[in-house]
Structure 1
Amino acid sequence: MKVSVLSGKGGTGKTTVSTNLALSLDNVQFFDADVEEPNSYIFIKPDFGQNYQQVLRKVPIVEQNRCTACRKCVDFCEYNALVLLSEEVLVIEEMCHSCGGCKYICPEDAISEKDKEAGKIKVDKSVNRMEFWQGELNIGEASAVPVIEVLNKNISQGKTVIMDAPPGTTCPTIAAINDADYCILVTEATPFGLHDLKMAVEVVKELGKPCGIIINRSESQADKLIEDYAISEDVDILTKIPFSREIAKLYSKGIPFVEKMPEWKEEFKKVFAKIEKVVG
């Protein structure tokens, strides 16, 4: 089973939930797919060593001696990765989305492709009783999707997969949840939290994914904001993590709170049991 943990915005506690959930379960394969700024390693503490897998994508090469400056490739590119300067076509690799369209549309067959490193995949296959996979997007890259797609290819059947998805509701998030069996939506009981939760719920429902909500930094009076919305959308609230100084102190030291508060391991096991019941 693959469970993706996401949020409508950053800073709601998505990594807190995903790491503590993973540490509460057995036979886990954990993926940090927040590849622009992965930080789950702070809590799981893997040892990657020096080895990593390159994530490659294709970018165009223009043979200027064959190019007739017809502008067809320049006009085709939606991302402005090709620019015609005088009689030469300049390729801006950082803006290219590797669709390959320019190569196919060129009437002179003047465009070929080369590999460019988009990011890295690192793995520790035995840390805290789990496999830990981390994607890293190279600085300057336009899209995180190629790195997340390679992470997805390393999912093992028979494992409980927990994926820390990118925040928001853009293409990288879709790549992380597209083949998920269940989505956990992490939010906070604030107007901003509710606003972005609504977008996340809309996305997962559009994709036909079952989902549930975890309220982080929960306070009884403020929670009604999220509770009322959950009722209106028929979405379960799986659990609430309190606004706790003790949890905040542990977080600041890079310590998962389930390690010092064992009752929360049991709570996360109950959350996972609810998910299993829904997924079947």
Structure 2
Amino acid sequence: MNIAVLSGKGGTGKTTVSINLALVLGANYIDCDVEEPNGFIFLKPEVEEAKSVMVEYPFIDDTDCNSCGECVKVCQFNALAKVKDEIMLFQKLCHSCGACEIVCTYDALSYKKREIGKIEKGKADEMSCSRGILNIGEPMAVPVIKELLQNLSEETNLIDCPPGTSCNVVNSLKYADAAILVTEPTQFGLHDLKIVVKLVRMFNIPFGIVINKDDGRENLIRNYCSDERIEIIGSIPYSREIAKIYSEGGVLNKNLNYKNVFDKLSVRVREALKWN
């Protein structure tokens, strides 16, 4: 079973829920937040395997190219431009669709590969951990995420998704059988929760809410979930001690004061997300 952990915005506690729940469930941890993969900071796995993520880009042979501009016309991503009698390539805008090579009647276009990131895999406490890392300056994270999520184990996988609801999140959610949405009881938290709820409902998968920084009182998140008939499957207390543990790179599940929070959450996850 693949469980995606999402948040409509950054900083709500998505990674906190992911790593601690993965430890309790004995699940594989997969960090798809490839622009800011923080999960390994807490789990500290020993990296056993690393490989580059490559993408294709067009190479123009100036000896065969007559600058007709057909490749420029067909490119939907503005990766090619005609400037006077020269075709210019913007590699980082290319989506490797191959259209330019198809329309080139002079065989002046071929494809080469370049690295945009890497995948790292290892183990922590006998738990398999993997993450994608997007190279600095690269604008497109999706190829790294797709490579990371290929050939997932048939065991339980916790997918720590990127924040927000962008195409990075959508491509992570494609592999999910269920979802956990992490939010906080603020106006910003509610605003972005509503957006991510719409996204998950589009995929028609079971989901539940975890409230971080919860003081146990009635609040706008609880009222929203009640109105929308969305199940709240857990909460993390509003605590200075938790913030201190997190800032020091600690794991809450290994702290006796908070272990029961994730033990209870693991039970509720199995009940609410139609565990199979």
User: Would you call these one fold, judging by a TM-score over 0.5?
Assistant: yes
> Matched residue of 1:172: which SS?
helix
How far 1:214 sits from its partner (Å)? Answer: 0.5
Q: Which moved more, 1:134-143 or 1:28-37?
A: 134-143
Q: Normalising to structure 1: TM-score of the pair?
A: 0.93
> Matched residue of 2:168: which SS?
helix
> Matched residue of 1:206: which SS?
helix
Corresponding residue for residue 29 of structure 1: 28
Matched, 1:200 2:196: yes
Which residue identity lines up with residue 29 of structure 2 in the other structure? F
Number of residue equivalences: 274
Q: Distance in 2 between matches of 1:108 and 1:189?
A: 60
Q: Which moved more, 1:203-212 or 1:224-233?
A: 224-233
- Structure 1 residues 182, 260: CA separation in 2 closer, same or farther (over 3 Å shift)? same
Which residue identity lines up with residue 216 of structure 1 in the other structure? N
Corresponding residue for residue 121 of structure 2: 123
Flag structure 1 segments of 5+ consecutive residues without an equivalent: none
> Matched residue of 1:8: which SS?
coil
Equivalent residues of 1:64, 1:89 under 8 A apart:
no
Corresponding residue for residue 207 of structure 2: 211
Q: Deviations over 1:113-145 (max 9, x none)?
A: 111112100011x31221000110112222111
> Matched residue of 1:24: which SS?
helix
Matched, 1:53 2:48: no
Which residue identity lines up with residue 147 of structure 1 in the other structure? V
Q: Distance in 1 between matches of 2:98 and 2:223?
A: 47
Corresponding residue for residue 229 of structure 2: 234
Matched, 1:190 2:186: yes
Which residue identity lines up with residue 264 of structure 1 in the other structure? V
Q: Distance in 2 between matches of 1:231 and 1:102?
A: 52
Q: CA RMSD in A?
A: 1.6
Q: Which moved more, 1:165-174 or 1:70-79?
A: 70-79
Which residue identity lines up with residue 137 of structure 2 in the other structure? G
> Matched residue of 1:89: which SS?
strand
Equivalent residues of 1:182, 1:275 under 8 A apart:
no
% identical aligned pairs: 43
Q: Distance in 2 between matches of 1:101 and 1:72?
A: 10
Corresponding residue for residue 139 of structure 1: 136
How far 1:279 sits from its partner (Å)? Answer: 4.2
Q: Normalising to structure 2: TM-score of the pair?
A: 0.94
